[in-house]
Amino acid sequence: MATVKLHVKKNDMVKIIAGKEKGKTGKVLRVFPAKGRVVVENLNVIKRHTRPSQKNQEGGIIEKEAAISVSNVMLVCGSCNEATRTGVRVLEDGSKARYCKKCNAIVDK
């Protein structure tokens, strides 16, 4: 199975560019490359009603972030603080790093 290369990674700050939470920013908690989806901290929170279980004796409502499509988020650059597209640059040591297309700063430390 081909793995889709996502433009964001875990711990990136991203901005939501579509949907009901458009304009909000948050930190990427998980990525699902095969599905092209990401989970962003405190965004797209859904309420899930649960029955009492051994883990959760009370049951009730659990709030949990639902994955959103990676095409609905943009990386927020740590240097210029703007939602931006990234390119990939080969560094002097041969490793690859993403850079901000707005301010040219390297995004990957």
Residue 4 structure tokens? 């889709």
Q: Residue 26 or 99: which CB sits closer to Zn ion?
A: 99
Nearest CB to Zn ion, comparing residues 67 and 106: 106
Distance of closest approach, residue 96 Cβ to Zn ion, in angstroms: 18
- Using CB under 5 A as the binding rule, whether residue 14 contacts Zn ion is answered as no
Decide: is 101 part of the binding site for Zn ion (CB under 5 A): no
* 43-58 per-residue burial string, b: 16 or more CB within 10 A, e: under 16: bbeeeeeeeeeeeeee
* Cα dihedral 60/37/8/85 (nearest 10): -120
Helix/strand/coil for 87: strand
Minimum CB separation from Zn ion for residue 104, in Å?
A: 7
Residue 75 in contact with Zn ion, rule: CB under 5 A: no
Site membership for Zn ion, residue 79 (CB under 5 A):
yes
